[in-house]
């Protein structure tokens, strides 16, 4: 799954990497983005505009927000399958967290570049699509977000050339050889949602059984 992530880049750094894109007025770097908080997304209908959205679909049955959507069952779940053709989005990030025995680990690209999670949106809410873990997770978790590098964003946002009744995720290609990610333990400060500052990325403890 994916339960926390970061987008620490400044407005200037984002614009330098992505070029002409309109950012929300109050856009700023974040170090501990959590479910039900406001996140920045890019919708397939407006690929040059980034806008704010609440992370998590409402779930009347449990009351807990649905924050992730499994890629393997997107075409089967009623909550998601009708969104696949017209409600795709990208959720920009530059890292994400996963936990092992309450110790958070931070994942980022080797060059610490901006990427995006594949996502779906509905009204003013969004979810992150997840996949089975690859070698980058190193035994920390069995799931991870679907990560899309910036040069492939248009591939995900492209509307599939199929009828609505046959809409699928055919244009979402999950690479067999994943892009390498750098992993390191970070401060347990990130365990508390109230902390959202650079100290969340301070060095943490290494658990020897993981390696």
Active-site residue numbers? 2, 98
Secondary structure percentages of the chain, helix, strand, coil, to 5: 20, 35, 45
Q: How far is CA 127 from CA 7, 16, 77, 124, in A?
A: 16, 27, 13, 11
CA atoms of 149 and 211, how far apart (whole Å): 27
CA atoms of 66 and 147, how far apart (whole Å): 19
Q: Which two tokens stand for residue 83?
A: 């969104």
Q: Which two tokens stand for residue 16?
A: 């330098």
DSSP letter, residue 136: G
Return the sign of the alpha-carbon dihedral for residues 61, 67, 70, 71.
positive
């Amino acid at each position: 799954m994916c339960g926390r992530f970061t987008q620490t880049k400044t407005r200037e750094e984002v614009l330098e990497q992505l070029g002409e894109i309109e950012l929300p007025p109050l856009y700023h770097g974040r170090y501990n983005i959590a479910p039900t908080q406001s996140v920045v997304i890019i919708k397939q209908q407006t690929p040059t505009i980034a806008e704010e959205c609440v992370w998590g679909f409402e779930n009347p049955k449990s009351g807990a927000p649905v924050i992730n959507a499994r890629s393997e069952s997107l075409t089967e779940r009623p909550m998601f399958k009708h969104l696949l053709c017209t409600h795709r989005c990208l959720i920009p990030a530059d890292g994400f967290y996963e936990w092992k025995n309450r110790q958070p680990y931070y994942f980022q690209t080797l060059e610490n570049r901006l990427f995006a999670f594949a996502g779906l949106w509905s009204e003013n809410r969004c979810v992150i699509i997840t996949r089975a873990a690859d070698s980058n997770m190193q035994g920390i978790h069995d799931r991870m977000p679907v990560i899309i590098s910036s040069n492939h964003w248009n591939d995900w946002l492209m509307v599939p050339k199929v009828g609505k009744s046959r809409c699928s995720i055919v244009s979402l290609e999950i690479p067999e050889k994943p892009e390498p990610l750098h992993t390191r333990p970070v401060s347990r400060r990130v365990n508390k949602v109230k902390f959202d500052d650079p100290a969340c990325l301070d060095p943490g403890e290494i658990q020897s059984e993981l390696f």
